[in-house]
Amino acid sequence: TRGTVRKFKVWRGDAQGGSLEDFEVEVNEGEVVLDIIHRLQATQAPDLAVRWNCKAGKCGSCSMEINGKPRLGCMTRMASFEPDEVVTVTPLRTFPVIRDLVTDVSFNYEKARETPAFAPPPGVPGRDYRMQQVDVERSQEFRKCIECFLCQNTCHVVRDHEENKEAFAGPRYFIRAAELDMHPLDVRTDRKEYAQNEQGLGFCNITKCCTEVCPEHIKITDNGIIPMKERVVDRRFDPIVFLGRKIFRR
Ligand code: SF4
Ligand code: F3S
Ligand code: FES
């Protein structure tokens, strides 16, 4: 069966500026937004720039905003829209546009680089590392992250606040900290302190928008951020720890 013709608006432009361009394009049963972008490239807009790789929701490349919502283009079914709905596709808003739907996400790589690497106990050879299965499983959820950066793009702390970017690592790197915090062999960095003092955990006011957009359904806020915050608070107000720190500082 032949598909139907649907209306699309796609943002075209570069760092200097741009605008929405109107298209009418064939849509077939079972297709996703990325299929339509590819059809536009093949038929009407050969120079339309888009980043993608797996078309299976696993590489995290095809992040874009579809009708204003941060989504993966390859996992957004055309059937999820009303038959007469105009579908508007724009680049991620939090990161600088390179061209059309492609943004410069290097903010995230910088934050990744700043996060201290996994650091096991000194002097213990790798063959002697032991981990219980229960410890492996605790942080398994966080290792499902595909680094699509949809959570980073959505968080209001940086979405409209360029000035906060330097001091705020963002939800993806809070769950990285939480993951390492749960790792029994990661002993050389206090991840809670680091998150609070260096990653800007205090900026997060638990709006949970990051969790809502995560295509891997990672409970970023409930399982990653909130436990990190609670434990930071615990330590600050635990009189013994507090006293211990005071004495230690002298
Ligand atoms: Fe994407 Fe979820 Fe990872 Fe954020 S936590 S980068 S939304 S997969
Ligand atoms: Fe941002 Fe998520 Fe916190 S959206 S404010 S990091 S709960
Ligand atoms: Fe890989 Fe969409 S193309 S996640």
Query: Per DSSP, what are the bridge partners of residue 69?
Result: 66
What's the predicted TM-score (pTM) here? 0.91
Alpha carbon dihedral 43, 46, 50, 54, in 10-degree steps, equals: 60
149 C-beta closer than 6 A to ligand 1: yes
Distance 157 CA to ligand 2 centre (A): 7
Query: Per DSSP, what are the bridge partners of residue 102?
Result: 99
- Relative to beta strand 87-90, strand 4-14 is parallel
| Tokens matching residue 27 | 């849509």
Distance 35 CA to ligand 3 centre (A): 11
Q: What is the pLDDT of residues 70-109, one digit of tens each?
A: 999 999 999 999 999 999 999 999 999 999 999 999 999 9
Question: Predicted confidence band at 248 (pLDDT cuts at 50, 70, 90)?
Answer: very low
Question: Predicted confidence band at 236 (pLDDT cuts at 50, 70, 90)?
Answer: low
- Residue that the structure tokens 């960095």 belong to: 189
Rounded Cα–Cα distance for residues 106 and 46 (Å)? 26
Distance 17 CA to ligand 1 centre (A): 28
